Amino acid sequence: MASSRFSSIFLLSIILTISKFALGGNFYEDFDNLFGDVRVDIKDEGQSMTLTMDEYSGSGIVSKNEYLFGRFDMKIKLVPGNSAGTVTAFYLSSQGSNHDEIDIEFLGNLTGDPYLLSTNVYADGVGGREMQYYLWFDPTEDFHTYSIDWNPDRIIILVDDIPIRVMLNRQTIGVPFPTSQPMRLYTTLWNGDSWATRWGAVKLDLSNAPFIAGFKHFNANACIAKEGGASCKGFNRGIFRDLDQESKKKMRKVQSKWIVYDYCRDLRRYAHGLPFECRKENLLDQSK
């Protein structure tokens, strides 16, 4: 008797827990059109999508749900050829002036010149935490998996399961970190030629339009935030909390070879003092 009641409570609690996750993913069911109308083209019963930018508009989608913590994966094949001026973005963002945001952006380039993968984190409305990388493959040739893994302790950004960036929660030393604002997931393709390619010097070449990027196998193992997300507290912690030794080794390798820009090393921009978390006395050794 007691044990069967226990097991039905146990079952119920599993069902309740699962109902607040979004597992798997479908472009039809999980997203709304954000801009660009028919330039958003969803196929394969919601399993794949292309975004197009032409002379009139780019395009993009936004998740129906707001999430508080989780792991988000997307397979992306970037605009081939002359993609200078294009920005393909995969990011989480909350609303409002003190918004939080976690960005993966791909800045296009002239044919044969490398794409730049740009990452940034906004917390409490303040960004400026860019880290930028070249990729060790041609991202226009095939689909690769790009991921944001976010929990209350840290944000990890991954390329094909290799972590390329970890931002730790340093609220204890006064550094804002996204822990309380639910965010929507965005996927967009737009004209960023005022700044994107060689700092804005190379413009979009519309003779190469339409620009088309491919997306598939969207996956969110994330907590859907209802009523402000109180029930999401601590989601995605546990065993995923830390990188294992193998992953740390891989990250160090990528970072030693492929980083183009790191805000923590930009002494010109921060001539009057590096951001708090970048100062020598506050640096954490992430290799341990």
Ligand X SMILES: *[C@@H]1O[C@H](CO)[C@@H](O)[C@H](O)[C@H]1NC(C)=O
Active-site residue 101, yes or no?
yes
Phi/psi class of residue 183: alpha, beta or left (left: φ > 0; alpha: ψ in -120 to 50)? beta
Query: Shortest gap between Cβ of 75 and ligand X (angstroms)?
Result: 22
* Catalytic-labelled residue, pool 105, 227, 277, 281: 105
d(CA 169, CA 149): 13
- Nearer Cβ to ligand X (132/286): 132
* Catalytic-labelled residue, pool 101, 130, 246, 281: 101
Query: Shortest gap between Cβ of 79 and ligand X (angstroms)?
Result: 12
Chain centroid offset of residue 19 CA = 24
Question: Is 171 in contact with 179 (CB distance < 8 Å)?
Answer: yes
Residues that bind ligand X (CB under 6 A): 107, 109, 113-114, 116, 196-198
Residue nearest to ligand X as judged by C-beta position: 113
Query: Shortest gap between Cβ of 78 and ligand X (angstroms)?
Result: 12
d(CA 110, CA 197): 9
Query: Shortest gap between Cβ of 117 and ligand X (angstroms)?
Result: 9
- Nearer Cβ to ligand X (140/221): 140
- Nearer Cβ to ligand X (41/266): 266
- Nearer Cβ to ligand X (133/177): 133
Active-site residue 29, yes or no?
no
- Nearer Cβ to ligand X (144/170): 144
- Nearer Cβ to ligand X (56/199): 199
Query: Shortest gap between Cβ of 195 and ligand X (angstroms)?
Result: 9
Q: Which residue has the tokens 């030393």?
A: 173
Query: Shortest gap between Cβ of 152 and ligand X (angstroms)?
Result: 33
Tell me the catalytic residues.
Answer: 101, 105
